[in-house]
Amino acid sequence: MKPEICLVGQVVVDVLHLKGKIAVRLGGIFHAAKALSALGCDFEIAYVAPAYLDHEIVSYAGELGATKVVKIGNVDGCPNVLLVGEPTEVGSQDYEFLLDQEHRCKLNLKEFENRLREKSFSDVIIFPGGFALNKILQTLKPFSARIHVDANFEPKNFKVFELLGRPLQTLILSTSSDTFLKIFKGDCSRICRAGLKIAHSFLLKENRGGSRYFRRSAINPVLVPAFLRKIIHSVGVGDCYNSIFTYLSHSVSQKASLIYASLIAGEYASSLSQSHFKDAVDRTLRITPDEIAKLQGVSLPWECRRTIHIYIAAPDFKSADVSQIDRVASCLEYHNFVPHRPVRENGEITDKSSIKERSATALADIKLLEQCQILLAILIFDDPGTYIEMGIALQRGIPVIVYAPNRITENLLTRELPILFSTDLDEVISELYNQAAKIHGK
């Protein structure tokens, strides 16, 4: 039987800053809708939004092939506009949901209830946030559809899921979410236990490190690699992943459906054109499930990244502008790596430092370098210390990656000997994942 999926959630307006231009798109559950549309899946939308968007929502949902669009709640006081400051997620996604404190939503679930009686959906995917989830769960309780919930934003307390009267089919969460980072303190085991208490399966998405799919029925999770590539945005990519997995899990193995979802989510992040995305989905589905299950990618679970110590070789001096070093260090921490800034850890040498202090500091820096698994050089300006540290790391067989935001050198050895020389931080972060996964896999 062909899956029939209902998407429940808010529609927002995404405002993306892309290389000096602004892209304005319908977002929220539309990301999942675009993925289902590209698959040719029968789907419906039950949405919450301010009234000014209704016409556009109905029109665009129709264009995507939604068989029915039901408004389940109206938003007042807030335009549902999401400003996205960091579209590629090299670090924390800098989201600003305009006037979020003024957001008021009034649900009206009559038509939705009628629709649930008329049609037997195979799956309902809920994207909570901005509406009363308890009422949606109570409404769904009498119906047999498999319920999947992406809990990235809400709820913070999983107790609400008891209102469904049965386990969720899938609870989905990202390691970037506040729920994971703040409520569960980044503890994968704890969140997995909590997830499987209220759901048959728990999907933990781990950014560029892949994802893990835990099941009540199996001891070991399914490991799904990430396929890192050049992307132009990351907004809604997780929603795309969820819906592709939900749809394909009806016809292929869980592992294969998760890998298809991962590859297709990469395609979604690489284009803003729905027609090109659909072409990419079509050709990805030409890869057989056997082949796709063998495809190698980057697999680096969240907690394993704490074993990857990264030496930041850079002119990290009080007298220098270190804002770019700060940014990189913050990105590495966001991804749960352990960055080391030798000048901060071992101190800065001044004109007044004694020979003994100089020697001790130099040795401490080298010792720290040798304890790290990767060296990341940040070439802000021509700094001899950075080049020497690069040379030592190369000689020791420690992978060296160079981030040169200001393109300051054309030096042959500096460009040719490292694993990567790049002016693009997104590329640098992906290569760090590649190298870290190789180290972790050894």
Q: Does 340 contact another protein by CB under 8 A?
A: no
Residue 298's Cβ-count burial label (10 Å; 0-12, 13-18, 19+) is buried
Residues 66, 72, 73, CA angle at the centre, nearest 5°? 130
Cβ-based nearer residue to another protein, 56 or 162:
56
Question: How near is the Cβ of 261 to another protein at its closest, in Å?
Answer: 14
Cβ-based nearer residue to another protein, 312 or 402:
402
Q: Does 206 contact another protein by CB under 8 A?
A: no
Question: Which one of residues 55, 159, 185, 294 is an interface residue with another protein (CB under 8 A)?
Answer: 294
Q: Quick one: which of 248, 374, 241 has its CA closest to 313?
A: 374
Q: Which stretch binds another protein (CB under 8 A): 17-25, 163-171, 342-350, 384-392?
A: 17-25
Question: Which one of residues 182, 216, 276, 367 is an interface residue with another protein (CB under 8 A)?
Answer: 276
> How many residues appear in the chain?
442
Q: Does 20 contact another protein by CB under 8 A?
A: yes
Tell me the C-alpha distance between 129 and 27, whole Å: 13
Question: How near is the Cβ of 440 to another protein at its closest, in Å?
Answer: 15
Question: Which one of residues 189, 217, 220, 296 is an interface residue with another protein (CB under 8 A)?
Answer: 296
Angle between helices 254-269 and 30-39 (to 10 degrees): 110
Q: Quick one: which of 306, 305, 311 has its CA closest to 377?
A: 311
Give, as ranges, the residues between 38 and 57 that touch another protein (CB under 8 A).
Answer: 56
Question: Which one of residues 6, 11, 26, 244 is an interface residue with another protein (CB under 8 A)?
Answer: 26
Cβ-based nearer residue to another protein, 147 or 402:
402
3-state SS class at 88: coil
Question: Which one of residues 153, 158, 227, 245 is an interface residue with another protein (CB under 8 A)?
Answer: 227
Both tokens assigned to 8:
């429940």
Q: Does 287 contact another protein by CB under 8 A?
A: yes
* 3-state DSSP helix/strand/coil % of the chain, to nearest 5: 45, 25, 35
Q: How far is CA 233 from the centre of its chain?
A: 11
Segment (H or E) for 48: strand 42-50
> Given phi > 0 = left and psi -120 to 50 = alpha, else beta, which region is 165?
left
Cβ-based nearer residue to another protein, 17 or 344:
17
Cβ-based nearer residue to another protein, 190 or 229:
229
Q: Which amino acid is at 108?
A: N
Question: x/- binding map, residues 56-75, to another protein, per CB under 8 A?
Answer: x---x--x------------
Question: Which one of residues 141, 283, 358, 367 is an interface residue with another protein (CB under 8 A)?
Answer: 283
Q: Does 185 contact another protein by CB under 8 A?
A: no
DSSP codes joined into one string, 270-336: T-S-HHHHHHHHHHHTTS-HHHHHH---B---GGGGGG-EEEEES---TTS--HHHHHHHHHHHHTT
> Is there a cis peptide before residue 342, judged by omega within 30 degrees of 0?
no
Q: Quick one: which of 433, 151, 156 has its CA closest to 302?
A: 433
Tell me the C-alpha distance between 224 and 255, whole Å: 7
Give, as ranges, the residues between 401 and 440 that touch another protein (CB under 8 A).
Answer: 430, 434
Question: Which one of residues 24, 51, 99, 218 is an interface residue with another protein (CB under 8 A)?
Answer: 24
Q: Which amino acid is at 272?
A: L
Q: Which stretch binds another protein (CB under 8 A): 99-107, 268-276, 351-359, 363-371?
A: 268-276
Q: Does 272 contact another protein by CB under 8 A?
A: yes
Cβ-based nearer residue to another protein, 21 or 318:
21
Q: Which stretch binds another protein (CB under 8 A): 19-27, 137-145, 146-154, 194-202?
A: 19-27
Cβ-based nearer residue to another protein, 88 or 201:
88
Q: Does 263 contact another protein by CB under 8 A?
A: yes
Question: Which one of residues 271, 324, 409, 422 is an interface residue with another protein (CB under 8 A)?
Answer: 271
DSSP 166: S
Question: Rounded to 5 degrees, what are φ and ψ at 333?
Answer: -65, -40
Cβ-based nearer residue to another protein, 66 or 298:
298
Question: Which one of residues 93, 274, 361, 422 is an interface residue with another protein (CB under 8 A)?
Answer: 274
Q: Does 396 contact another protein by CB under 8 A?
A: no
Q: Quick one: which of 324, 338, 343 has its CA closest to 425?
A: 324
Pairing of strands 400-403, 374-378: parallel
Q: Does 25 contact another protein by CB under 8 A?
A: yes
In the chain, count of helices (H) and strands (E)?
16, 19
Residues that bind another protein (CB under 8 A): 17-26, 56, 60, 63, 225, 227-232, 263, 266-267, 270-274, 276, 279-280, 282-284, 286-287, 291, 294-298, 430, 434
